[in-house]
């Protein structure tokens, strides 16, 4: 176990496998609005950024409507989402060790509150930072700075665990050590500023 007091987690692609749900629902929405057939692989660049930003990029003429329809498809495909192996056990062990757990996510608070997958584990987290808690978003370090302020801790006391370069830059830009998980199916390891590379929940626990 490391000396970190706070372990900060991204959600999508880190704790929960939402690849099929998030990108699959976006694929369907793009077909509906733009009549384009796109691959999930081509949509990976939108994985990890706030959904309203992606909507504005893809359908600037009415991003609000695009986002609403995307959310409907997301909910309809939610059955494809699931926790990565060992995540629940890891969170339980970290809490038992006295670690403070947190979330820094590009999701909106209402998306978390309405997500039945997250409901059983929300009580694990002491500090939660969503898209409404800073005026800039990943990869900008503003969300991590918001976490540090909200938790009243220093960067040196924290480890940020995420799965994308957006997470990495958000963490390291605020001086927080970063652990890159390699289990979401998206190849982002090259050039990502990470102190640790982990491939399973036990390895995350070991560096915390």
Could you give the domains of the chain?
Answer: 6-17+81-207 (3.40.50.1000), 19-80 (1.10.150)
pLDDT per residue as tens digits for the range 61-111? 999 999 999 999 999 999 999 999 999 999 999 999 999 999 999 888 888
pLDDT at 49: 80
Which range is most confident: 108-117, 162-171, 191-200?
A: 162-171
Q: Average pLDDT of the chain? A: 92
Q: How far is CA 97 from CA 17, 86, 181, in A?
A: 25, 16, 21
Mean pLDDT of 6-29: 95
Q: Provide the pLDDT confidence category of residue 185 given band limits of 50, 70 and 90.
A: low
Name the pTM for this structure.
Answer: 0.90
| Mean pLDDT of the region 177-190 | 75
Of the ranges 50-64, 103-117, 179-193, which one carries the lowest mean pLDDT score?
179-193
Residue 50: per-residue pLDDT: 81
pLDDT band at 47 (very low <50, low <70, confident <90, very high): confident
Tens digit of pLDDT for each residue in 124-151?
A: 999 999 989 999 988 999 999 999 999 9
Question: Measured in Å, how far apart are the chain's first and last C-alpha atoms?
Answer: 5
Question: pLDDT exceeding 90 applies to what percent of the chain?
Answer: 73
pLDDT of 91: 97
Asked if 168 and 178 count as a contact pair (C-beta separation under 8 A), the reply is yes
201 neighbors 85 (Cβ within 8 angstroms)? yes
What's the confidence (pLDDT) of residue 71? Answer: 92
Q: How confident is the model at residue 188 (pLDDT cuts 50, 70, 90)?
A: low
- Under the banding of pLDDT at 50, 70 and 90, the label for residue 113 is confident
Q: Which region, left, alpha or beta, applies to residue 103 given φ > 0 means left and ψ of -120 to 50 means alpha?
A: beta
Give the chain's length.
208
Confidence label for 190 from pLDDT (cuts 50, 70 and 90) = low
Residue 167 pLDDT: 93
Question: Using CA of residue 13, residue 15, residue 18, residue 22, what is the dihedral sign?
Answer: negative
């Amino acid at each position: 176990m490391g000396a970190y007091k706070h372990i900060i987690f991204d959600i999508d692609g880190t704790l929960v496998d939402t690849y099929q749900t998030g990108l699959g629902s976006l694929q369907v929405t793009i077909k509906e609005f733009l009549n384009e057939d796109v691959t999930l692989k081509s949509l990976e660049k939108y994985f990890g950024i706030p959904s309203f930003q992606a909507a504005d990029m893809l359908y600037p003429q009415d991003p609000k409507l695009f986002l609403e329809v995307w959310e409907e498809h997301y909910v309809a495909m939610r059955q494809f989402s699931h926790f990565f192996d060992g995540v629940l056990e890891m969170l339980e062990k970290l809490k038992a060790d006295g670690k403070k757990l947190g979330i820094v996510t590009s999701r909106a608070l209402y998306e978390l509150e309405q997500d039945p997958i997250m409901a059983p584990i929300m009580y694990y987290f002491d500090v939660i930072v969503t898209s409404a808690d800073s005026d800039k978003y990943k990869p900008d370090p503003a969300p991590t700075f918001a976490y540090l302020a909200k938790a009243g801790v220093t960067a040196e006391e924290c480890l940020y665990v995420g799965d994308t370069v957006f997470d990495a830059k958000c963490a390291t830009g605020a001086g927080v050590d970063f652990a890159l998980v390699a289990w979401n199916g998206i190849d982002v390891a090259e050039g990502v500023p990470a102190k640790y590379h982990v491939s399973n929940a036990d390895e995350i626990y070991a560096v915390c």
